[in-house]
Amino acid sequence: MTKDQGQRTIRQMTDSAKTRQLLGMKGADVKETSIWKIRLQLMKPITWIPLIWGVVCGAAASGQYEWKLEHVLIAAACMLMSGPLLAGYTQTINDFYDREIDAINEPYRPIPSGAISIPQVVTQIVVLLLGGIAVAYLLDTWAGHQFPTITVLAVGGSFLSYIYSAPPLKLKQNGWLGNYALGSSYIALPWWAGQALFGTIDAKIMILTLIYSMAGLGIAIVNDFKSVEGDRQLGLKSLPVMFGVTTAAWICVVMIDTFQFGIAGYLVSIHQNLYAAILALLVIPQITFQDMYFLRNPLENDVKYQASAQPFLVLGMLVTALAIGHAG
């Protein structure tokens, strides 16, 4: 390797590390001192995408979203609430209560590395929480809700995030409860918010999205593989700790695939056969990537699997939402 090639490689690695920090991913730059970049790392922007997409799905399922400026801006405000504000709150409070386990598994994270102080973290948690609830109230006002549906969803989702991370309940200590809480937070809650903003939500759509969240449970399990050692040392009962890495990986993929096929069956039952076929076809590449990456080495390939397979899962969510909106 020449000197120029070596310098180019170093620059590429440095740029990649800085990008990973801004997204809140593994392999982040540990030398960055900008407090705003550190705050953003705590909020893990990479995790906002499913919630923003969930709002899109809810709006599509309402059957009443229109491509006009007012609706676009209101939908963007709902995405702001679900993603940067409340998902950012969730990730920050999770890092706050996980600082001991992160010191074992991910010592580069902002809190265990000492890059940000505890009072600064607490301030960030409060600002994001209050900001998210305030935007939810404004959305209810715009929609003319007599009952503050979106505000209640924001408060309820925030409370779920708190008990997921914080003692004494700390739902994430239980692999089943914790991962389902996470899956429903990423699929059902933003979907409900988007649908309530432009239409109505009823028991049927709530049950359907909660069932869909079982696929989200499988996705949530993927995140547990990076912290097996720390979870084991601190007595957290994640599925990889309880069942072993190989069995947990199979539980994960079965959950992801089975419930998507189940939703496809539901679409057939409401005579949305084309949408059902598209959804079923979108599961096939997920199965392919599960075999190529995840099942072969879940500890090494968790991020690679998520990057390759998850787009097909979220596209399937939108297909389902469009089918529901089309069915009325």
**DSSP-assigned states of every residue in 271-304:** T-HHHHHHHHHHHHHHHHHIIIIITT-HHHHHHH
> Residues near 30 by Cβ (< 8 Å), separated by ≥ 6?
108, 113, 115
Residue carrying structure tokens 């007595």: 235
3-state secondary structure of 113: coil
- Cα–Cα distance, 111 to 261 (Å, whole number): 41
List per-residue pLDDT tens for the chain, 328 residues long. Answer: 554 544 454 454 445 656 655 655 555 555 667 899 999 999 999 889 989 999 999 999 999 999 999 999 999 999 999 999 999 999 999 999 999 888 887 888 899 999 999 999 999 999 999 999 999 999 999 999 999 999 999 999 999 999 999 999 999 888 899 999 999 999 999 999 999 999 999 999 999 999 999 999 999 999 888 888 878 887 778 899 999 999 999 999 999 999 999 999 999 999 999 999 999 999 999 999 999 999 999 999 988 999 899 999 999 999 999 999 999 7
Cis peptide before 110 (omega within 30 of 0): no
Question: Of 243, 239, 221, whose CA–CA distance to 294 is shortest?
Answer: 221
Are 313 and 219 spatial neighbours (Cβ–Cβ below 8 Å)?
yes
Between CA 22 and CA 16 the distance in angstroms is 10
Position 282 scores a pLDDT of 98
Do the Cβ atoms of 38 and 32 come closer than 8 Å? yes
| Residue 174 near residue 198 (C-beta atoms within 8 A) | no
pLDDT confidence of residue 233:
82
Compute CA distances 44 → 21, 23, 83, whole Å: 8, 5, 10
Task: Report DSSP state, residue 46.
Answer: G
Beta bridge partners of residue 174, listed in sequence order: 237
3-class secondary structure, 174: strand
Euclidean distance between CA atoms 36 and 94, whole angstroms: 18
DSSP H helical segments within 46-165, as ranges? 48-62, 69-80, 88-97, 99-105, 118-143, 149-165
Compute the residue count for the chain: 328
pLDDT at 24: 54
The residues pairing with 237 across neighbouring beta strands, listed in sequence order, are: 174
Q: Which of 45, 50, 3 is nearest to 21 (CA)?
A: 45
Question: 107 by DSSP, 3-state: which?
Answer: coil
- Preceding amide of 167 cis, omega within 30: no
Contacts of 142 (CB under 8 A, 6+ apart): 74, 197
Question: The tokens of 172 are what?
Answer: 């994430």
What does the pLDDT read at residue 13? Answer: 42
Spatial contact of 46 and 23, defined as CB atoms under 8 Å apart = yes
The dihedrals phi and psi of 174, each to the nearest 5 degrees, come to -110, 120
- Contact (CB, 8 A) for 267 and 279: yes
